[in-house]
Amino acid sequence: MDKTNQITQKSLTEDQITRIFTHRQHLIDNFYNRLNSFLVFESVLLGIIGILYTKNVSSLLMLKLIAILGFTTTILWWYTQERIRSTCQRVTLYAKDIMPEYREMLSMEGKITFST
């Protein structure tokens, strides 16, 4: 975060910090829900393409149209997911700057090892 725009934890109330963290969690949940929907949609399209591919040659035009629909959907979904991902990253960095507990948790994330 830019030092001139950085808000310290002391200037925020507990309720404001909770809202920031809740907003971050909502964005991440939204990201994964959309990703799951995309996977289901693309799986159905792939199944339809598989069925049409085994049919006669007269369905070749329909096969191409569905493939184009799938490609277009993939490009649009990638664009929207990338925008949401960048927003999630910004909010996560902001939360890391204002919440020392969250900063500590993120720093420990890669250091946890399990003993047998």
Cα torsion through 97, 99, 101, 102, rounded to 10: -60
pLDDT value at position 104? 84
pLDDT value at position 4? 39
Place of tokens 């929207």: 80
CA–CA separation, 24 and 21 (whole Å): 5
Spell out the domain ranges in the chain.
Answer: 14-103
Q: CB within 8 A of 55, min separation 6: which ones? A: none
Q: CB within 8 A of 6, min separation 6: which ones? A: 97
| CA angle in degrees (0–180, nearest 5) for 85-90-91 | 95
Average pLDDT for runs of 10 along the chain of length 116: 52 84 90 92 89 74 86 93 91 86 79 60
